[in-house]
Structure 1
């Protein structure tokens, strides 16, 4: 969000509430009901139906207080200082405090994204010889903020306090019987209105506030928009901090692309893929494991070409507990078939595939059969620490493990690759590791660059670096799926699922290549994080669910 729009909130909040001032208003507000102004549905009723998306942020102190159970003392002090600095920056020219003046009355906050206003021709008086500017200024999407008023007396007190601040100018105008307050600070105007004494509506564009008033007066709202009523129920997360609602995913992306500085028009193929997703709702919450994000996409089953399958998760057990990052899934060959099918409708993708196919044919490799054809089972890619041989400079290596029902084709492919490596002056050698025959690509005086071999009848691995081959083929430590770190990050994620993305933050931040890039402050924050996990599932053809967990250490 541009700076001019990100700093308009505070002065406009108080300026708008000023209009309910006065003794008569005070008397009325003292006994006025609080209503449902602090919930997402109530806020959505004053947001215009043209809104592309909306985010609802709770101000419930119990939900935010839950975060205090996590983090090292050093990290908590750093975060507290950051919040204190932010508070000072926002109120640098006043004696206003968020904790004392705003928090007591501000209910939940809904931030809606409205379509941009039409671009207006630029009219500038330019000197002779000056370059001609673009004919139009590309508009930005309109931001509309709706703040629930949960304590009207506190809101009034804050408004009166703000009214006395220096450097803030107020101007009133009438629209549909509602008073719009124009607040100007440092030359930047903000527009706001209080609707039914329950909602404060504000925006950096007057037209956005006028549209909210039209909605309040009876025009269609975001809450009444087709498909919104279901997603406004939100996602079930404990101690919800925020919910995001996107009723028309493809339409939103189209409008945002058109409003970009380049005015991009999406290709038909891209638009067709976007239309597979009808709507999206996401929630952020805090539970005993850390900060959890859940997202649910409503799909069009007629347009979905890829058939979801769950992943057994057995292949994770082939990796040692030292593994600090891992991605696993199922059926690469099916995914590849989907890409090939989609390329029929995309000339650019089809051309790229044909180029790759042609290049591999020169070395007697069939891209579809030899590379992807046999990858029909579960797979995983893992990163494992090592500071030996070719891995000494980076501090880690990687391993790919595949389950396949077509061992014959897989073996033929590796034979072709070994033959190709010999033509590049790479030494091909055999080695027995833990009773398993392993083929290594060796570089003089540096050891093995790459190794591959079979862990059992149906499972093959490819490792970067000799030490990684040892760790996979002759695992001496506990398997990754049995480790406490992996359980802490992935154990509470939904099952069955399509696989995991897993990151052990404690191991990752100690890697030399990572440690050299992060600051002392960043290291303090990262020290409070155990790891990061993501998974996805599809209960039916019309639903796809994503879950992410930022696993945090408990405060001591």
Structure 2
């Protein structure tokens, strides 16, 4: 090869090698070599004995969806809250989340581990100490280069004392400030372990080295893999053994008594649970999936037709609906056989009701409540309700009108003995019975809305609204549709709260007429309402869905 060519090729080849090496290093630092940011990937280094784990999604796109809701004041309040949390967590350093942590952090899992069985270097004489659960944070690294920069900056903090030790070939970095100590381990440049307890980080290293993990634990692996389907997931919670978790967390609390065997047996009906919180166009949505033991589950779930909602007026701001109270009562009685205190209370209630009103609690109260039912609170400024701003109503569908009528007749007789005026009148073509108090008007009203539907209202104006049906029904209002229309169907009923149209009532009840604090008012002004429902596709699964319906951002 001519000398001139060799002088040209040597620097070119050298430059190519340097460039290739730089690209390889960049790819190594930038691209994780394995799944380290998903719930299943992070859970591989969480010890199998973890009682529960919460996964937090750090994807900024999901969190940014919250910005499409709320007033500017509410958004400023949320931003300030996040800034305050940042200051508290990083109070002893000049670390800033947005610039130092956000660029490299993947998903975060917070695991709750059982307390340490032994205490290192115990005092002499020993002092009784209530065991506390260990908290382990596992952080996925999605950008190794920025994570390396963060580690370098962390070591340069002057107000932190840094000590390094080794456990099974992994370096443990202990950082101590004026207020707390933290143990940190970087596993293969893919995950960071953080915990205030050295034993917890050692157990996590054992897991990384091959000990059983939360990811392959029976009950946990399936719920980690499936998760819960929500849009723009913010966080997910995993509980693989619900009864064991409840028992151990109760034992951690010094103010709690140990769970009785009967209670623990009831809890064992729930095998595992997974929940998720996400953001969609309607607001913040939470879904919970509970896996039940079909052999232990005594409750017989029923879907409701949800037709009873139409019986309530548009001024109804709170509502609970369901199906077949009588069946739920029978299930409660069966389960209470193992609880002497509850069983005794039920017997006392039966005896007192029989003696006072000559009513059979099982047959004449719950026996005819065998169809759909609803309990609601209705705004009203008329009569004596003006003092509180609302009244109440109970509506029941029944297949046993004869027994229901006999029950209300006995109640009317009791009211007469209490010197109440019992009157009857027609409202909207329906015969209504009213209990009236002198100079205050109707206290209780009841009657039949159709052949199979009976109501009992607290406050005459509420009874009139139910019977007359002049206005728009609740299920046709914009707020009810916005809060409940996207909830799963069919379902077992609704819990519904209208916060958009009751701000004045909330102010009156909560502050006795004084203005709400600016922060509280900003939050309430951003919420339309709350909707919750439950369904059960089979005897081994129960699902709950909750929607916090939010108003679109007024800054758009």
Q: Shared fold by TM > 0.5?
A: yes
Contact 1:119 1:136 in 2 (8 A): no
User: Aligned in 2, Cα 1:224/1:236: closer, same or farther, shift over 3 Å?
Assistant: same
Q: Deviations over 1:176-215 (max 9, x none)?
A: 1111111101152111111111000011111000000000
Contact 1:29 1:152 in 2 (8 A): no
Deviates more, 1:429-438 or 1:59-68: 429-438
Deviates more, 1:104-113 or 1:390-399: 390-399
Q: Which residue number in structure 1 is paired with residue 261 of structure 2?
A: 268
Contact 2:308 2:373 in 1 (8 A): yes
Paired residue secondary structure (1:398): strand
- Is 1:516 aligned to 2:516, yes or no? no
Q: Deviations over 1:273-304 (max 9, x none)?
A: 11111000111111111111111111111111
Q: Which residue number in structure 2 is paired with residue 547 of structure 1?
A: 545
Determine which of 196, 207, 211 is the counterpart of 2:199.
Answer: 207
Determine which of 373, 378, 389 is the counterpart of 1:384.
Answer: 378
Q: How does 1:293-304 map to 2 (within 5 A)?
A: 293-304=286-297
How far apart are 1:440 and its partner, in Å? 1.2
Instruction: Give, in whole Å, the separation in 1 of the partners of 2:88 and 2:296.
Output: 49
Instruction: Give, in whole Å, the separation in 1 of the partners of 2:478 and 2:138.
Output: 44
Instruction: Give, in whole Å, the separation in 2 of the partners of 1:53 and 1:123.
Output: 28
- Is 1:61 aligned to 2:56, yes or no? no
Q: Which residue number in structure 1 is paired with residue 353 of structure 2?
A: 360
Q: Deviations over 1:56-110 (max 9, x none)?
A: 1111111111111111222212222333343344444543211111100111000
Q: How does 1:145-544 map to 2 (within 5 A)?
A: 145-233=137-225, 234-262=227-255, 264-363=257-356, 364-511=358-505, 512-514=507-509, 516=511, 518-544=516-542
Q: How does 1:116-127 map to 2 (within 5 A)?
A: 116-118=115-117
Contact 1:146 1:199 in 2 (8 A): yes
How far apart are 1:421 and its partner, in Å? 1.6
How far apart are 1:136 and its partner, in Å? 2.1
Q: Which residue number in structure 1 is paired with residue 5 of structure 2?
A: none
Contact 1:382 1:400 in 2 (8 A): yes
How far apart are 1:515 and its partner, in Å? 5.6
Q: Deviations over 1:390-424 (max 9, x none)?
A: 32221111100000011111111111111112222
Instruction: Give, in whole Å, the separation in 1 of the partners of 2:299 and 2:124.
Output: 56
TM-score, scaled relative to structure 1: 0.91
User: Aligned in 2, Cα 1:433/1:140: closer, same or farther, shift over 3 Å?
Assistant: same
Q: Deviations over 1:489-517 (max 9, x none)?
A: 00000000000001111123221534627
Q: Which residue number in structure 2 is paired with residue 17 of structure 1?
A: none
TM-score, scaled relative to structure 2: 0.91
5+ residue gaps, structure 2: 1-20
Contact 2:238 2:273 in 1 (8 A): yes
Contact 2:533 2:546 in 1 (8 A): yes
Instruction: Give, in whole Å, the separation in 2 of the partners of 1:176 and 1:441.
Output: 79
Instruction: Give, in whole Å, the separation in 2 of the partners of 1:408 and 1:135.
Output: 68
How far apart are 1:165 and its partner, in Å? 1.9
User: Aligned in 2, Cα 1:257/1:86: closer, same or farther, shift over 3 Å?
Assistant: closer
Paired residue secondary structure (1:320): coil
Paired residue secondary structure (1:310): coil
Instruction: Give, in whole Å, the separation in 1 of the partners of 2:378 and 2:25.
Output: 67
Instruction: Give, in whole Å, the separation in 2 of the partners of 1:123 and 1:175.
Output: 22
Instruction: Give, in whole Å, the separation in 1 of the partners of 2:233 and 2:527.
Output: 20
Instruction: Give, in whole Å, the separation in 2 of the partners of 1:53 and 1:526.
Output: 32
Q: Could you say what the CA RMSD is over the residues aligned between the two structures, in angstroms?
A: 2.1
Contact 1:119 1:137 in 2 (8 A): no
User: Aligned in 2, Cα 1:341/1:88: closer, same or farther, shift over 3 Å?
Assistant: closer
- Is 1:31 aligned to 2:28, yes or no? yes
Paired residue secondary structure (2:286): strand
Paired residue secondary structure (1:36): coil
How far apart are 1:360 and its partner, in Å? 0.8
Equivalent pairs, count: 525
Contact 1:334 1:376 in 2 (8 A): yes
Paired residue secondary structure (1:76): helix
Instruction: Give, in whole Å, the separation in 1 of the partners of 2:264 and 2:94.
Output: 50
Paired residue secondary structure (1:140): coil
User: Aligned in 2, Cα 1:121/1:438: closer, same or farther, shift over 3 Å?
Assistant: farther
Q: How does 1:87-106 map to 2 (within 5 A)?
A: 87-106=86-105
Contact 2:436 2:442 in 1 (8 A): yes
Paired residue secondary structure (2:497): strand
Q: Which residue number in structure 2 is paired with residue 139 of structure 1?
A: 131
How far apart are 1:27 and its partner, in Å? 9.4
How far apart are 1:147 and its partner, in Å? 0.3
5+ residue gaps, structure 1: 1-23, 127-133
How far apart are 1:217 and its partner, in Å? 0.5
Structure with the greater alpha carbon radius of gyration: 2
